[in-house]
Amino acid sequence: MIIKYCNNEITSSGDFDYIMFTDLKLNDDYINKLFKDISNNNYDGIIIDCKKNFIGKSMEILLKLSLSVKKGFLLSCANIYSRETYNFLKENNALPEDERKSIIGNSLLFKNNFNIKILKLNSKNNNKLGLKNLLYLIFKTGTLLKYLIVGVSGVIVNEGILLLLHPSLGSYIGIIPAIEISIIYNFILNNRYTFKGKNHFINRLLRYNAFNLIGYGANLSIYYIAIYYKTDIYLADFLGIIVAFIITYTTASLFVW
């Protein structure tokens, strides 16, 4: 359902000040209240979030991580946009014709600092994103697959440096420079390829290193425990890398870029 609002009234004409996309059944008084709120407070839009079950909340977290969105709700049940915001979404082929485009559009609004109000409804929304759309958004549109590709190449760098340094530095010391070199390598590729960071290179590098200390602290712990139990050093390193990947991707998506 699309509702147009012009000159403080709902209209069916082609002219509008604000436009609403929703599958919810809302009464006219409530709709007028929403439009007046957005108009009086000069919001670029309102995103209405319906009550979600555990699966819906989990999807929300996965989507926000993959699309690198730090605030708001992406799985919305209704959206109101100003003309300026509507045109921005139209230019980016992200008008909310379906759940997937709605999520892409919402992520663009949050990442481009539009003034968006979040409104929660206690009612449930029956729309389902679907596994196909979820995977598309996470791996095709989002950053997770790119980060994974960079991470895999970083594993090769990590293991290669360990292979070179192990004979001279030993198992316990050789892993430390191998980790740091792979951190810098991963950061450079992620900054350019995954998250497309344009400014604050040094600041991001320092934050990336700081957050990676947590991930690679886990990496080292697992590595040392594994080799203590006579595990092959390269398998021990690989197990630590898996845990580090989960931690570093989460922190990179939310706090670095």
The answer to whether residues 107 and 206 belong to one domain is no
The answer to whether residues 58 and 158 belong to one domain is no
The answer to whether residues 153 and 129 belong to one domain is no
* CA 81 to chain CA mean position, Å: 22
Position 220 scores a pLDDT of 82
Which tens digit of pLDDT belongs to each residue from 168-201?
A: 888 788 888 988 898 899 999 999 999 988 888 9
Beta strands in the chain (DSSP E): 2-6, 9-11, 18-22, 45-51, 78-82, 116-124
The answer to whether residues 29 and 133 belong to one domain is yes
The answer to whether residues 172 and 104 belong to one domain is no
Sign of the alpha-carbon torsion through 226, 232, 236, 237: positive
The pTM assigned to this predicted structure is: 0.76
Largest CA distance in the chain: 77
The rounded distance, in Å, linking the Cα atoms of 31 and 37 is 10
Structural domain boundaries, residue 214: 144-256
Q: Give the end of a domain, one of 111, 141, 171.
A: 141
The domain total for the chain is 2
The answer to whether residues 29 and 105 belong to one domain is yes
The answer to whether residues 117 and 159 belong to one domain is no
The answer to whether residues 157 and 115 belong to one domain is no
Residue 59: CA count within 13 A, CB half-sphere: 21
Which tens digit of pLDDT belongs to each residue from 207-238?
A: 999 998 888 788 889 888 988 888 888 888 88
46 closest CA partner among 104, 98, 120: 120
The rounded distance, in Å, linking the Cα atoms of 197 and 253 is 12
The rounded distance, in Å, linking the Cα atoms of 185 and 167 is 23
Q: What parts of the chain have a pLDDT lower than 70?
A: 125-127
Q: Give the end of a domain, one of 141, 176, 204.
A: 141
Position 126 scores a pLDDT of 60
The answer to whether residues 137 and 153 belong to one domain is no
Position 48 scores a pLDDT of 92
Q: Give the end of a domain, one of 84, 106, 141.
A: 141
The answer to whether residues 21 and 60 belong to one domain is yes
The answer to whether residues 158 and 124 belong to one domain is no
The answer to whether residues 159 and 239 belong to one domain is yes
